[in-house]
């Protein structure tokens, strides 16, 4: 098992703010990562589509962190270091981000090492629905490996810190054409559709890249 954090920062979408963010990010981002011994891997990107709609021009950012333990996650966000990051970034955001912590089946490194990833999240109304969604993700993972082999990497699990229960999965593709093929139907089509029977489904694609971490 692995512990991941899905972060959807509420950055100001105007171009001047985005330009400043990109210019200052090499200075600001180390406040998240250096030092941070609980952080095993970190990725940053921009949301490309949401439920089939192109949203890239809306400048919606995304961060994916992998933690060694849930305790490390909570300790860092109570630290003075994180408080310093908030001070440095607050003039570029519209509101605090909602941090989504999940315990998942595998490290996200293989999935997030792809140039584009899919994230499907199902907000479920009951523990029974959560179990059904997790079982469906197990089926998706197996079918994807049988069909696409090393072209795909998948991890999935359930939320740990939200009031509502969310079952989330991350799929990394070696090429965007495979992403379109898989979610458009075929061998995985029925499985993706069945996720909707367990709750409210959100489906995004993200262009993503690794953030530099200090040596251990």
Angle at 92 between CA 90 and CA 93, to 5 degrees: 70
Asked whether the predicted pLDDT for residue 89 surpasses 60, the reply is yes
Query: How do residues 41-54 score in pLDDT, each as one tens digit?
Result: 999 999 999 998 99
Q: For residue 144, what are the contacts with CB-CB under 8 A and spacing of at least 6?
A: 152, 154, 171, 182, 188
Cis bond upstream, residue 2 (ω within 30):
no
By mean pLDDT, which of 38-42, 66-70, 150-154, 158-162 is the weakest? 150-154
What is the spatial distance between Cα 102 and Cα 83, in angstroms, rounded to a whole number? 23
* Predicted pLDDT of residue 132: 97
Query: Is 185:31 a contact under the CB 8 Å cutoff?
Result: no
Q: Give the pLDDT score at 182.
A: 53
Work out the pLDDT band at 143, boundaries 50, 70, 90: confident
* pLDDT of 21: 95
- Does the structural domain 113-208 have CATH classification 3.30.70.100? yes
Q: Is this model's pTM higher than 0.75 or not?
A: yes
Q: What is the mean pLDDT of residues 93-107?
A: 92
Q: Which of 4-8, 86-90, 184-188 has the lowest mean pLDDT?
A: 184-188
The tens digit of pLDDT for each residue in 121-136 reads 999 999 999 999 999 9
On whether the CB atoms of residues 132 and 181 are closer than 8 A, the answer is no
Given a cut of 80, whether residue 185 has pLDDT beyond it is no
Q: Which fold has domain 3-104?
A: Alpha-Beta Plaits (3.30.70)
CA torsion, points 103, 182, 54, 163, in degrees to nearest 10?
-20
Decide: 105 and 170 in contact? Cβ < 8 Å: no
Matching CATH topology for 3-104 and 113-208?
A: yes
Domain boundaries, the chain: 3-104, 113-208
């Amino acid at each position: 098992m692995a512990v991941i954090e899905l972060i959807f920062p509420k950055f100001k979408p105007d171009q001047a703010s985005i330009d400043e963010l990109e210019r200052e990010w090499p200075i600001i981002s180390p406040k998240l990562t250096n030092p941070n011994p609980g952080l095993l891997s970190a990725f940053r990107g921009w949301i490309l589509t949401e439920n089939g709609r192109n949203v890239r021009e809306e400048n919606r950012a995304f961060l994916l962190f992998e933690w060694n333990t849930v305790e490390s996650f909570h300790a860092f966000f109570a630290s003075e270091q994180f408080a310093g990051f908030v001070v440095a970034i607050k003039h570029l955001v519209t509101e605090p981000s909602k941090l989504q912590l999940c315990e998942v089946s595998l490290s996200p490194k293989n999935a997030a090492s792809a140039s584009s990833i899919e994230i499907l999240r199902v907000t479920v109304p009951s523990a029974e629905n959560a179990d059904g969604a997790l079982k469906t993700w197990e089926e998706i993972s197996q079918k994807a490996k049988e069909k696409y082999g090393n072209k795909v990497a998948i991890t999935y699990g359930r939320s740990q810190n939200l009031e509502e229960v969310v079952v989330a999965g991350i799929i990394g593709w070696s090429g965007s054409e495979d992403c379109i093929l898989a979610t458009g139907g075929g061998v995985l089509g029925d499985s993706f559709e069945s996720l909707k029977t367990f709750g409210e489904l959100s489906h995004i694609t993200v262009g993503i890249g690794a953030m530099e971490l200090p040596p251990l």
